[in-house]
A and B are shown apart, each in its own frame.
Chain A
């Protein structure tokens, strides 16, 4: 153990020295937990003092539910598969799209930290692992998405969409989590790969709505022309939307229930979960190299 050097003229009123650790703490040490919690706390303080993001994040999906629900209200029953009303059909789409948008924006605050130099404050600190910066963002966005999901589920219930079973709700939460994790990872990867927030916003802008329209969020696969069916059935958003929709309609679900009939084959609930987990793995591995280079 070495302590920091003290020169001969130092006086007794000097602060007691911090012990320097010659082998610094690493991933998942108490130090890692300490820094991750502190970084997460900062994001929650920001949210509390500037609640506009939270308010907009709750109001926007509810407007989707009400306005989009009204738009297609007069479509004859039975057009949307087993859903009784369009509102019931739409609910799953709004849950997933809201979580997706939130996660896609996860990189923005980090980008501003980069641009304003706040990130340098973190980078000169002896962090146990700079992965804590990524994890703090992921924790924050996940908590936010779950809050939004609860709000959407509650309002949908009052609009007559019904509720999945208790266990079903658990699976809904799991699906949201899996989606948010992967997309947050991608967004943070972009944050360090792109030169500035203008470029990041451009990417978000270009990805967001097209992915929504090329998914089963607003209409079922059967509505779409053949080519769009192929695109939508490969869109990760659909892998999240379809199982949630299924859980809303069936209380007697199992992991082998077929939730999606893609042009290229049937997907079970279990398969969609595995696909989402695979997407997470891909995203995490994909950005790991980049983050290691930029944040090592």
Chain B
């Protein structure tokens, strides 16, 4: 069976900027697939190519075996798209927006009222249905947008940064809903630059950086591939540099320690990468005691997705995000969003 989404060797250039340089990944039917990367990595551009809003310069894009470039109208029937910025007509009520959406997807008239009712119910929007969307909170707007994207029961639901800017409660509601959706058989493809979101939701993930996929797999596969456990050690709440250096020299001499970094931004705490073994923490504590060094706090953890990103790109996702946002040309991005099929 053809994969739910197939993206192969996708290239897209905006003027002199290469937004996508060779993006490839596959989403299997019935899974939640996460596209993780910092702002400006090419996540939205990839989704725009998938949803027929932009035409790629080259590459293959298929939904359930249907070529998006050759049969865009068929592809659009298979897709539900929830954009990052919710565009609701604020004078319409939620129900009216869904009625419009139903007509745009040519749902048979007898089916429309029932579909809208079910959609409102599943997203807990019944009591808001006849209010104008201009009165909705951010979380409600997102939920209505989700209901709209799902109205025609697409086989693939595509979400661009579904919880950006939402409060924790709304975020949890949307996560739960997406899991339910997956369990009912809908394929979900979402982008995020929240590690936590991808880790909590995605069955499989592709990490995208500067227009290309740098890693793909299940979150635990990716973490295993990075190898080693992480130990964070604080000698004191705020350790002086001298003592930290002393501890570093001692720790690096231990056979199971691979790397030690002093994190001056965190009160000279020590970040250690160790070979995964159950007694690493115990051995380290023993060695510290013998060297007469104090312990304020110590914790061992498996590598996180951020470590995966770090090992592939040499920078943390947060750093990349900050760097990207200082370089972004917001005006150009706005233009790009308005552009249809260029």
Contact = CB atoms under 8 A, between A and B. Distances in A.
B17 interface: no
B103 A35 contact: yes
Contacts of B154: 4
Given A15-B153, A17-B153, A21-B77, A295 B340 contact: yes
Contacts of A192: 340
- Among A15, A116, A127, max chain B CB count under 10 A is at A15
A11 B185 contact: yes
B105 interface: yes
Interface stretch (A37-45, A64-72, A245-253): A37-45
A13 to B, nearest CB: 7
A75 interface: no
A57 to B, nearest CB: 17
A266 interface: no
Contacts of B152: 18
B241 interface: no
Interface in A1-59: 4-11, 13-15, 17-18, 20-22, 24-25, 31, 34-35, 37-39, 41-42, 45-46, 49-50
A5 B77 contact: no
Given A18-B77, A22-B74, A35-B103, A9 B87 contact: no
Given A37-B103, A117-B337, A126-B106, A5 B4 contact: yes
A120 interface: yes
Given A37-B103, A126-B106, A294-B341, A9 B185 contact: yes
A166 interface: no
Interface in A247-270: none
A124 B81 contact: yes
Interface in B87-127: 87-89, 91-92, 96, 99-107, 115, 118
Contacts of A116: 87
Given A9-B30, A123-B53, A124-B76, A14 B115 contact: no
A176 B1 CA distance: 57
Nearest to A17: B153
Interface in B200-244: none
- Among A37, A115, A120, max chain B CB count under 10 A is at A120
B259 interface: no
Interface residues of A, number: 53
B340 A119 contact: yes
A128 interface: yes
B79 to A, nearest CB: 7
Contacts of A13: 184
Contacts of B89: 42, 46, 118
Contact of B53 (A5, A37, A39, A120): A120
Contacts of B184: 10-11, 13-14
A118 B338 CA distance: 10
B64 interface: yes
Interface of A: 4-11, 13-15, 17-18, 20-22, 24-25, 31, 34-35, 37-39, 41-42, 45-46, 49-50, 113-128, 192, 195-196, 293-296
The 6 closest A-B pairs by CB, nearest first: A10-B185, A7-B30, A38-B103, A4-B155, A24-B73, A117-B87
19 contacts: A5-B4, A7-B29, A7-B187, A11-B183, A11-B185, A13-B184, A15-B115, A18-B153, A20-B78, A38-B103, A42-B92, A42-B96, A42-B100, A45-B92, A49-B91, A118-B87, A126-B77, A192-B340, A294-B341
